[in-house]
Structure formats: C-alpha cells, structure tokens
Structure 1
Amino acid sequence: MNLELVVILSLISLAMGQIRPESSCSKYFRYVNVTAEEIQGEITLPTLKQGHNRIDLLFSQTGDQDDFFVGQLKPYPDEKEIQWRTGPYKFRITISPSVANEKPKLSQLVYNDQLLCGEYVLYASYQTRFYEFFKNGSLDRSPLSPNVCGRQGSIAPFVIGGKNFPLGRYPWLSAIFLKEENTLSFECVATLISASIVISAAHCVHLKTEFDVFIGLGLHNLDSFGNDGSETRSVKRLLLHPDVKNDSFNEADIVLITMERPVTFNQKISPICLWTEEASRMESTHGIVAGWELTSSKYDNPWVVQVDIASPEVCALAFTALSLSNRTLCAGHRSGACVGDHGVGLMVLQGDRWLLRGIVLVKRLECDFNEYVPYCDLSKYINWINDNISG
C-alpha cells in the first residue's frame, strides 16, 4: 500500500471517529471520574478577568447522539470558589456514556469570545454548552446586563408558528406549581428576570403563601420532571403590585416571586431582558408568547405562537367593556394555535435580545384567532419592578 493511500485511509478513519484523541484542548480539558454510569469532564483556566466572563464549549461525537447526554457546565467545587480564588479555576460537566461507550471530544473551547483551542468539527453530532458569570460580584446579578439577558438558546433550529420548540430555546421560561397534599400541580407560566426572581400574573398566587408555591426552571415536558439541566426552587417572597386588590381583573396583575436560592445561568436557564425607556422609542408591531398547552388532560412540551401587537385605538375598541387604560396593550394570536395563558409573557425581539413587554391579563376560555388578548404593559411598571429586584 503506497503512502498516499495510507494517508487517505487515515483521514477517512479520523473523520469517521475511529482514530481521534479525546480532546484537541488537552492544555485546558481532561476527563475525570469516569464510571459506567457517568463521565465528568474538567476545564481548568489559569486566570479569569474581573467583571463579566463567558465560557463556551463544543463537544463532538460520531453518530446521531441525543443532546441530553451532555449536561451543564458548572464551577467546581462550587460558585464561591470562582468568586474568591485567585486561580487556577476549575469547571466540570457531567456526560452520560453513549451506547458505543465512547466519550465525546471537546472540539472547541472559547473564553470571552477568544478561541483558546479547537479544530474544525468533522463529526456527525455536536453539542454546545456555556457558562456565564461575573467575577468578584454576586452571581445573583442584575438581569439588565446586556451581556447576559435575552439571549435565545441555540440548541436546535428556531421553530415558530404554533409549534413546539426545543429545550433551551427560551431559557427564561419557567413554571409555577402549587403544592396540593403530596403532589405539585402546574398553575401558571412565569418568566425569569434575575438569578433569584421570576415574574408572573398576580392572580396565579392570589391568597397563596410562600409555602404553597414552587418554581420550576429549565423544564420542558411538565409531566416529566427531572429534565437534564432543570432546577426547582422553593419560594422566599411573594410580592404583588400594590394596585392588585383581589383575583378579579387587575391592570397591574404582576407578582415578583423571589426564590429561596439563586440559580446559576447556563444554556437552559437564563433571564430575559426587562423593558426599558430606550426600548419604548422603537415601535413594536409583533412579538411571541410561549407556554404549555393542556392537551388530553396533560401538559406536553411548550409551544410558541407569534402575535400581532395592536395599536391603542384598536385595543380600546376590542375591549370596550373593560375600559382599558394606557397601562395595557393588546396582541392577537394569528397563527392557528392556542397556548395556555395564565402568566404568559409577551416577548419582543429588539436586535439580538428578547425583552419582556407584557403579561397576559385574562385567560381565554376558548381559542378565537380573530380576537385580541389584553396584556399588562410592563413598560408602565418598570420603575416598580426595578426598585423591587435591586433592593
């Protein structure tokens, strides 16, 4: 066999994953704690800069692999080490062994948009993960940082128009559960706006105590708790807007729910951006809503629906019986799909960031695609929200 043929066969073998090292980033990455049940990979960075930091990983593997077999990147042994150590800094990620018992390869490592090591990805399956944090600052940081909030997930292609979407597409999508005896019952959609706080409709927790409420984050199918990367939290505080008087129609139908422990932002859990005065200077004619639709007595995977935002004049004509003020807005579902409405947030894309514009005020009893739905306009309450998430 001549040398040229040997080289060609070697390249083909490499591309098929039969000959390849575990990592092209051996300076920064190694596998530790390899067992039959799980594998842990460890990233070591010699230094971290003060302020905002982001680590991006790309794993590759032969064959068609499920995205869920790669877990989330987390600081090791805990978050405090990242904040107070002077280096080196360690991060770990848990990986489930594949059917072929083959460890995935770390093909790219990026720190703060700088490629530390990597190669062109030749393999059939790849998974991306990231970890984002502030050095020398609480991980329970303001959701308004332009480097953190409102980033749409990139786990799978974008799907819209009344169809379900992949886990991590909208990482701020959260769920409110109510404790009923020994079970948890899904009640409302909520939206993550900081590491410790979700926002939703006040009527979702009317007459409930903190003990009655439970928050799920990073969830997908609500009937299948324990999605990889999901987290649950008990509640420390329920703060209803002072204009909420009862569980009937309230234009200020807002509740801020503070969780007992903050979450660590990752690819499946991160906050949406709050509305700003600057955002109000740009006219928004459409947005999206996402939530879980009740089908066949169970909640399947979440759905996303595109909506058209009506003008104030059209909104007033659509709801003459309610006498809506300028603290509300209206949007219509035009794509032919219904999403369970309690607590659902109206999301608007500006640039490459999603901002939370409103929270649905009423739940439709049936789907009518010719009707608008009223929303609490969060642009009118942003000062109250900011005052109560920063204090």
Structure 2
Amino acid sequence: MQILISSLLVALSVFSIEAKPHIASRIVGGEFYKPNEYPFMVGLGNVTSDGYDPICGGSIITPNHVITAAHCTVNLTANKIVVLLETHDRKRPNSKDGVIEVARIQQHPKFNYGTAFNDIAIVTVASPIKFNKNIGRVCLLRPGLDLTGKTVTVLGYGRERFEGSMITRPKKLDTTVISNAKCRADWYPDKSINSTQLCTHSDGEASCKGDSGGPLVLRVPKTNEYTLVGVVSYGILGCTDDIPDVNTRVASFIPWIEEQIADSGVAGKPCYS
C-alpha cells in the first residue's frame, strides 16, 4: 500500500525500484481507517498543468515542516511539489486551503539511490499549516528504544495489489518490527540493510505502490498517542509478504531533522514521545 504514486511518476517516486530486481515500495491487506484518525498524515503532489498528481505520502512534524522519503523528491524542485491536506477521500476534491505550496526541499545529502540508505527529506511549506481537530502533527521517537517485536502501523493510499489502481481512501496496516539481522538475511543478496533502516513484516499483508514517504507509527501506551518511528522506503516487487518491508528509521536522524528545521528559515520544533 504505498502512498499516492501516479502512473506518470512511478519510476520517480519509487526511485526506479521497479527497474531493479525484486524491489518496489508497497498496502496490501489492512483496513480503511476513519477520517481524522491520523491527522498528521498528508500527501505530496507533483504540480502539473492540470493541477497536481499525487505521488507520495508524508507526516506533519511542525506547522511548517513535513517529513517524507528522499526518493519522493528526486529531480523535483520546490515549485513542482505541493502538500495535500484534507485528503481522506480522494473522490472528493480538496478545498483550496487543502493544497499547500512548498518553499524548500531538504533531501538528505547522503541519500543513496541504489541502496536507499538515508531515504529521508524535510519539506518546508510556503505558509504554515493550520492545526485543528482534523489536522495536526505527530511526535518523533528519540533513539534508544528497541522496537524489535513491537506492533507498528503503516498508513497509505497505495495499491491493494501490485497491478491494481490506487485507492481513494487511506488504509492502515498493523505490522511487526523484525530485527535487522533477520531482515538482512531475508533480503540477501539483493539489498544491504543498515542500522538507520527499520524492517517490518506481516503474513499475507504488505505496503504497496503509492505508500512511499508515508508514516510508520507506534502507539505509546503511556499517552495513547502515536509517535513516528519510520518513513516508508521500499519493499519487494509484486507487493507480497515474501520479504520484509524496509523503512527509514526516524530516530537515527533526529539531529539531522533538527538541523534542517533550524536551517529552513521558519519557526518549528518537533515534539517527542
């Protein structure tokens, strides 16, 4: 279930993963969720002559900043991307206030297109996102918590099957974090897995084309709120459960995220769970 990839931009928003053996980003399975259940989730759209084409997902982390995958922003400048709010039902057009222009894209300088290492970017919006009961931010997870074996939730508008169409309402999928050692063994020799990545696996279910850049969240028992632990990066071509999904581990990039927010020229401070 990968978030929002248009047919014209598949190669871009999945960083040509389909062109590589076995690889493609992906929700198959899961269930539709209620409006405003995850108010921090947004879409990214590529600006076209007719408006925009949805390409990826993202998460609001301050009123001025959205976090997404670096591969979603490859070869795109700020004037070619918009942030899409109020996107729960894509059959209903967004209001004018739901399309936010972008001022700056800060892609990780060490993003590796081939390995997908450092697959993370910060998008600074041109005007602050107004928080209300339907729109809000998600807090980040600081380093130190071992997530292995924990249940996390991936969100997206991606396809329900590999050759299917993008869905118009988002789905959620509860999945399990597995160790990097197991993930590395399952992917070998197709891909390397490092400590800045976070792998998940569910029997019979997976993310799919269109979910890239979207949130992977953990519910914190103490507060009953969600915290962002990952950004959807890639999975196996075909959207099957044969091999684990790979996400960018947000906690590994906290200093970098804070630096990008400080360098963006607008106010913003992420919250932490």
TM-score range, shorter chain: 0.7 to 0.9
One of 324, 347, 356 as aligned partner of 2:193: 324
Aligned to 1:250: 116
- Residue in 2 aligned with 1:224? 92
Residue 185 (structure 2) pairs with residue 292 (structure 1): no
In structure 2, the partner of 1:209 is 77
- The question of 1:264 aligning with 2:130 is answered yes
- Indicate the residue corresponding to 2:43 in structure 1: 175
**Match for residue 24 of structure 2?**
none
Report the CA distance between 1:284 and its aligned residue: 5.7
Q: Distance in 2 between matches of 1:346 and 1:170?
A: 11
> Residue type of the partner of 2:73?
V
Structure 1: distance between partners of 2:111 and 2:206: 30
**CA distances 1:307-350 after superposition (whole Å, capped 9, x unpaired):** 11001221121122222111112101336465532112211111
| Aligned residue identity for 2:40 | W
Q: Distance in 2 between matches of 1:316 and 1:293?
A: 25
Give the whole-Å Cα distance in 2 for the aligned partners of 1:191 and 1:298. 19
Amino acid at match of 1:372: P
Any idea what SS the aligned residue of 2:239 has?
Answer: coil
Secondary structure in 1 matching 2:111:
coil
Secondary structure at the aligned position of 1:294 is classed as coil
Matched, 1:274 2:146: no
| Structure 2 contact 64–129 (Cα < 8 Å) conserved | yes
Deviation at 1:196, TM superposition (A): 0.8
Matched, 1:386 2:258: yes
State the shift of 1:377 in Å. Answer: 1.1
The match for 1:333 is 202
Q: Distance in 2 between matches of 1:356 and 1:335?
A: 24
3-state DSSP class of the match of 1:367? Answer: coil
Give, in whole Å, the separation in 2 of the partners of 1:353 and 1:297: 31
**Is residue 369 of structure 1 aligned with residue 241 of structure 2?**
yes
In structure 2, the residue matched to 1:196 is: 64
What is the CA-CA distance between 1:300 and the residue it aligns to?
A: 1.3
What per-residue deviation string (whole Å, max 9, x for no partner) do you get for residues 210-241 of structure 1?
A: 110011123112242226x9622100000001
Output the CA distance in 2 between the equivalents of 1:304 and 1:233: 24
8 Å Cα contact 2:69/2:232 also seen in 1: yes
CA offsets 1:17-60 (integer angstroms, 9 cap, x no match): xxxxxxxxxxxxxxxxxxxxxxxxxxxxxxxxxxxxxxxxxxxx
Contact kept in structure 1, 2:235 and 2:244, CA below 8 Å: no
In the alignment, is the contact (CA less than 8 A) between 1:244 and 1:253 conserved in 2? yes
Flag the 1:338–1:206 CA change in 2: closer, same or farther, 3 A. Answer: closer
**Larger Rg, first or second structure (1 or 2):** 1
Gaps of 5+ in 2: 1-28, 264-273
Contact 2:115 2:192 in 1 (8 A): no
Aligned to 1:236: 103
Answer yes or no: is the 8 Å Cα contact 2:148–2:179 preserved in 1. no
Partner residue of 1:187 out of 34, 55, 58: 55
User: Aligned partner of 1:332: which letter?
Assistant: H
Q: TM-score with structure 1 length normalisation?
A: 0.54
Q: Percent identity?
A: 22
The structure 1 segments of at least 4 consecutive aligned residues displaced by more than 6 Å after TM superposition are none
Matched to 1:175, the amino acid is G
From 335, 341, 345, the counterpart of 2:215: 345
User: Shift in Å at residue 181 of structure 1?
Assistant: 2.0
Q: Is the 8 A contact 1:194 1:271 kept in 2?
A: yes
Q: Please, which of 220, 224, 231 is the counterpart of residue 359 of structure 1?
A: 231
AA aligned opposite 2:226: W
Q: Structure 1 regions of 5+ residues with no counterpart?
A: 1-160
CA 1:304–1:281 in 2, change beyond 3 Å: closer, same or farther?
A: closer
Quote how far apart the aligned CAs of 1:386 are.
1.5
1:314 lines up with 2:186 in the alignment: no
SS in 2 for 1:380: helix
Q: Secondary structure of the residue that 2:130 maps to in structure 1?
A: coil
| Structure-2 change in CA distance of 1:224 and 1:289 (3 Å) | same
The normalised TM-score by structure 2 is 0.76
What aligned pairs does 1:50-69 form with structure 2 within 5 A after superposition?
none
SS at match of 1:341: coil
Task: Work out which structure has the larger RCO, using CA pairs closer than 8 Å and 6 or more positions apart in sequence.
Answer: 2
Counterparts of 1:143-158 in structure 2 under 5 Å?
none
Distance 1:198 1:250, change over 3 A: same
What's the RMSD between the two structures over aligned residues?
2.3
Q: 2:256 aligns to what SS in structure 1? A: helix
